[in-house]
Chain A
Amino acid sequence: MESWDLALGDVRRLSRGWLGSGLAAVGMVLWLFAIHQANFLQMGPLGLVSILGWKYFVGLGLVVVGFSLELLHTPLRQKRLIFFIIALVLILYGTASAVEPVASLPDSWIHAGFVQYIVQHGHTLNNFDARFSWPGAFSLAAVLVAFTGQVNAFGFLRWFSVVIELAYLAPLLVIARFSGVNRRAGWLGVALFYSTNWIYQDYFSPQALDYFLFLVALAAVLAIWRPKRAGQLGATRGYWWERIRQSREVWRIARLEGHDATTTWGSAATLWLLTLLGLICLALAMSHQLTPYALILSLGACLATRRLGRPELIVVTGLLAVGWLSLGASNFWIGHLSTVFGSVGQIGSTIGSNVTSRVTGSVSHLMVVKLRILITAGLFFLAGIGVLRRYADSRTLEALSAAPFALLVAQNYGGEGLLRVVLFSLPFASLLAASAILPDTSGTIRAFAPKLRNGRRGRSLLRLAVVILVLGFAVVTTIVRGGNDSYEAFSRGELAAASYAYDQVHPGQIIGVVAPFLPVDMRDLGSVVVYASSGGSPFPTVKQQGSILTRAKPTVIVLTQSQEAWGELIAGYPKGWEAIVEVHLVQHGYRVVASWPTATVLELAPSVG
């Protein structure tokens, strides 16, 4: 009998130990079924989520429940937690890649076109596009294309999001480990980062690579330097005075020279790492317009909160960024300097162009946009609670979360500034949000809010809170991340139609489209022009679309399902509006030369041309 009891106890222990992993495994199997059964061609106005069945959400839920069980398991098994995070990344970022037949987002195809131009010509194309003035990442991609024996970068596009998101995991784990939060909060912070990163800057682009370098640089800085121990704050008497006194320390010369940070690293190792960081800053300066400045602000935040011992790093990053803008990117700003400095200090209009101008379109699109605002506000609200609840040795996370917002003073970044700023802030805000649930309870800086006692069911409630938060954010991210996919994701037919159009035209001729939502500019950059009839604002009427196109006289015109969806969701056109445009084009000298179930190519009849 005793031996039976022992065996039963072993089984219980074993099942408790492996329950989380088992749930995650079942969840992954369900996810595989979900992506296998999803039919891209049936995608509705809500985008990706409209073709994902219940298996996707149950699978995602099981992985999150498993993560929650593992996160609060004693002892903490960190090696297992990595697999849960990888599973979460695969589900949230791999679903679109697995379901959609070709890479989504027109920009990723344009970037592939940039890379192909460098592969073919060995240099960039001057005065073509602002992005070509920061060619570092494109050049690296061109080297990789040549190294792998490819003729273009198309093969890199489809799965790029998953690969780069998985690459972010390493620096994120280092940041979580050295940011000053406890281990469990660190893991939860990483899970929250992935479950709230709807911003979709991880497609094949320089900003995706630069974001990785940004994370690596900050992870290295946080790993090297720790804050020198400040005096413990008094318990009650003079508490606020002591806080104010400590805040004033930020402006001391010693703090600004990095003397308030300390390291246990040897001088040789520190020098090597600083050399690597210098090279990273150089790569950042040559690859992207915004990321180097975000890094400067973040490094400044580290210096002010005693987590950076060498202020020279900030100055060198600034020198390289401004130096490249002045010298390497002169093609971009000569003739239109107002693009660079025109929005300095105009915070109101920057936020207006970043938020209010996006809240337009059909009911389904409006819902997606509002959910995006809600999820971002929710995370930052939770981060605010984390700030109130956590004890800490330095307020680095708070400073790193806030610092990127200073970018809005200088640039609206074509209406995308706020999105980018939130992205730069996200890893640190996620850790603060995790501290709202699992706060540190010791540190030289006391929490603003009193400690809450965990009751008898404290651990179960914590598990429940983790599941609700991570799953809630992950479900919303699934909806909003793929919310534009009905017009930003493409079928094989659309890609074939675009390629066919390029085969029909000669250098100097024009390919016409209604809206730039199809894979174009992925080849023959600079020699073939792509003309979009809805380039201006406000959008022309359906009737005007046809006449604008016929006036421009493109050699071929490509009409596709994704453009049709764009017209219905964003421009407010009626269902089937592309057929009206097609009839107009046929009446004005165009003829259909090729068609696919999702695309049609029209060519200007020789007599008319």
Chain B
Amino acid sequence: MSGVLLAGFGALASYQIVLTTLVACVVLLCVRTWLGVMGIVLLRRVTVLLNTSVIVLLTLFLLVVILRFKTLA
């Protein structure tokens, strides 16, 4: 991702942005699943941080997908 990519608002609809947020989201969800299945208990602060990151990334993903639909359609 270069500065050029983020220079325009419409650039947020590019496939690189959608793919990056998608992969980041999936990775965080995999980590959360792994921790849950293995029974690893994290500090409350870390758990909140992890959950917040997932929610933020999910929201970002949905936003860029909607933007992509609006821009390209």
Residues of A within 8 A of B (CB): 258, 267, 270-271, 274, 278, 309-310, 312-313, 315-316, 319-320, 322-323, 326-327, 330, 333-337
Contacts and interface: CB of A to CB of B under 8 A. Distances in A.
B18 interface: yes
Contact of A310 (B36, B39, B58): B36
Contacts of A310: 33, 36-37
B29 A323 contact: no
Contacts of B36: 258, 309-310, 312
B38 A327 contact: no
B18 A323 contact: yes
B30 to A, nearest CB: 8
A312 B32 contact: yes
20 contacts: A267-B38, A270-B37, A271-B33, A271-B38, A274-B37, A312-B30, A313-B33, A316-B26, A319-B22, A320-B22, A322-B62, A323-B18, A323-B65, A326-B18, A326-B68, A327-B18, A327-B19, A333-B73, A334-B72, A337-B69
B25 A319 contact: yes
Nearest to A310: B33
Nearest to B38: A267
Interface in B3-38: 15, 18-19, 22, 25-26, 29-30, 32-34, 36-38
B58 A315 contact: yes
Interface residues of B, number: 24
Contacts of B26: 316, 319-320
A320 B61 CA distance: 11
The 10 closest A-B pairs by CB, nearest first: A337-B73, A312-B29, A323-B22, A312-B33, A326-B65, A267-B37, A270-B37, A267-B38, A334-B72, A327-B15
A326 B37 contact: no
Nearest to B66: A326
Contacts of A326: 18, 65, 68-69
A327 B19 CA distance: 8
B29 to A, nearest CB: 4
Given A271-B33, A319-B29, A320-B22, 8 more contacts: A267-B37, A267-B38, A270-B37, A310-B33, A312-B32, A319-B26, A323-B19, A327-B18
A450 B43 CA distance: 50
B73 A319 contact: no
Contacts of B34: 271
A334 B68 CA distance: 10
Nearest to B67: A326
A493 B24 CA distance: 55
Nearest to A337: B73
A589 to B, nearest CB: 44
A319 B61 contact: yes
A422 to B, nearest CB: 29
Given A327-B15, A330-B72, A271 B37 contact: yes
Given A327-B18, A333-B73, A316 B29 contact: yes
Contacts of A323: 18-19, 22, 61, 65
A540 to B, nearest CB: 33
Contacts of B22: 319-320, 323
Contacts of B73: 333-337
Contact of A267 (B30, B39, B69): B39
Contacts of B38: 267, 271
A316 B31 CA distance: 12
B33 A274 contact: yes
Interface string B51-68: 000100010011001001
Contacts of B18: 323, 326-327
A145 B73 CA distance: 36
A137 to B, nearest CB: 22
Nearest to A265: B37
A271 B38 CA distance: 8
A356 B58 CA distance: 40
Nearest to B15: A327
Contacts of A330: 68, 72
A54 B69 CA distance: 57
B56 to A, nearest CB: 14
Contacts of B19: 323, 327
A320 B29 CA distance: 12
A576 to B, nearest CB: 48
Nearest to B69: A337
Contact of A333 (B33, B61, B62, B69): B69
A310 B69 CA distance: 30
B55 to A, nearest CB: 10
A323 B72 CA distance: 15
Nearest to A323: B22
B23 to A, nearest CB: 9
Contacts of B32: 312
Contacts of A315: 25, 29, 54, 58
